[in-house]
Amino acid sequence: MSNAVAHAEAHGHAVHHDALQHHFETMQQQKEASTLGMWVFLLTEVLFFGGLFFAYLLYRVWYFDAFAEASRTLDISLGAFNTAVLIGSSLTMALAVRSAQTNQRSATVRWLISTIVLGCVFLGVKVVEYADKFEHHHVPGPHFISESPWAAQEQLFFSLYFTMTGLHALHMIVGVGIMSVITWMAAKGKFDEHYYTPVEMAGLYWHFVDLVWIYLFPLLYLVERHN
């Protein structure tokens, strides 16, 4: 995926680009390989989260009241805010890729940095939310406290909440890491309109992380908000 081509030397020209690795014949082939590789990687990610989603789905059907009750303890405004932030970061990411495609180096860097900043905002909010959970003893395990009659099953919800959002946050941290490297590369002028695969691949990854959240938000925060 992206790091496979990460060592690329820049300022190329169409005929024999410096970023072309020895075992590929053409830049086209190299780019197609990276793209396919990234998509196959995302495919594994879909199934990775798929297992978790099934566990969630099953218990939500079984213990709907407990899930509704537990979900109401989540802060909907923070959740919605974070959704907006993450979608915003997807926008900036898409624009970063576009700038790379059109060879606007400083715009690329600017959009990438915006994406990183938004990603960090998201993670910051997540920290606040987690802290709140610890404070209210909503972390499943021996210290879990809940007044509701569904205390036991609420732990299922919170276990899934922490696992799902935790893995999602982990993906974001990795994403921010990757993005920092790419920003640095972009600032160094390693990309041009013939070679911007790393930016594009990082973008695909980032959008995927966004996709996961698009589902997590309603599933975790909005189980049953009326009444």
Partner 1 sequence: MLDTLKLPERHYLNNGHGLKSWLLTKDHKRIAIMYLISISVMFLIGGLFAAAVRVELMTPEGDLFLADTYNKMFTMHGVVMVFFFLIPSTPAVLGNFLIPPMIGAKDLAFPRINLLSLYLLWVGAAFFFYALFAGGVDTGWTFYTPFSSSASNSNVVPTALGAFISGFSSILTGLNFIVTIHRMRAPGLTWFRLPLFVWAHYATSLIQVLGTPVVAITIVMVAVERMFGFAIFDPVRGGDPVLFQHLFWFYSHPAVYIMILPAMGVISEVVSTFSRKTIFGYSFVAFSSLAIAVFGFLVWAHHLFVAGISTYSAMVFSFLSFAVAIPSAVKTFNWAATLYKGAISFETPMLYAYGFFGLFLIGGLTGLFLATLGVDIHVHDTYFVVAHFHYIMVGGAIMGYLGGLHFWWPKLTGRMYSEFFSRISAILVFVGFNLTFFPQFMLGYMGMPRRYHAYPDEFQVLNIMSSAGAAVLGVGYLLPVLYFLWSLKRGEVAGPNPWGASGLEWQMPSPPPTENFKEQPVVHGEPYEYTPHVAREANLV
Partner 2 sequence: MGSFGIPLFPEQASTFARDVDALYFFIIAVSGFFALGVTVAVIVFGIVFRRRHAGEVGARIEGNLPLELAWSIIPTMISMVMFGWGASSYFHMRTPPAEALNIYAVGKQWMWKFQHLEGQREINELHVPVGRPVKVTITSEDVVHSLYLPSFRTKMDAIPGRYTHLWFEATKVGEYHIFCTEYCGTNHSGMIGTVVVMEPNDYQAWLAGGGVEGTLVERGQRLFQDLACGTCHLDTGKGRGPSLNDIVGKTVALADGSTAVVDEGYLRESIINSQAKIVQGYQPLMPAFQGLVSEDNLVALVEYVKSLSPQATTTAPAAATAPAAPAADPTKKK
Partner 3 sequence: MSGHVSPKSLYYSIFGALMVLTAITVFAAFLNLGAMNAPLALAIATFKATLVVLFFMHVKYSSRLTKLVVTTSLFFLAILLGEMMMDYATRGLGVIPPPLQ
Task: Output 51 or 142, the one with its CB closest to partner 3.
Answer: 51
Which value, to the nearest 10 degrees, does the dihedral of the CA atoms of residues 114, 120, 122, 124 take?
A: -150
Nearest Cα residue to 121 out of 178, 176, 158, 164: 176
Nearest Cα residue to 95 out of 184, 206, 214, 208: 206
What is the distance between the alpha carbons of residues 186 and 212, in angstroms, rounded to a whole number? 27
Q: Please list every residue from 21 through 80 that binds partner 3, using CB under 8 A.
A: 27-28, 31-32, 35-36, 39-40, 42-43, 46-47, 50-51, 53-54, 57-58, 61, 76, 80
Partner interacting with residue 226 (select from partner 3, partner 1, partner 2, none; CB below 5-8 Å by kind)? partner 3
Partner interacting with residue 33 (select from partner 1, partner 2, partner 3, none; CB below 5-8 Å by kind)? partner 1
Nearest Cα residue to 183 out of 164, 196, 166: 196
Count the site residues for partner 3 by CB under 8 A. 53
Contacts of 117 (CB under 8 A, 6+ apart): none
106 binds partner 3 (CB under 8 A): no
Count Cβ atoms within 10 A of the Cβ of residue 215 and give its class: 0-12 exposed, 13-18 middle, 19 or more buried.
middle
58 binds partner 2 (CB under 8 A): no
Residues that bind partner 3 (CB under 8 A): 14, 27-28, 31-32, 35-36, 39-40, 42-43, 46-47, 50-51, 53-54, 57-58, 61, 76, 80, 83-84, 87-88, 90-91, 93-95, 98, 101-102, 193-194, 200, 203-204, 207-208, 210-211, 214-215, 217-219, 222, 224-227
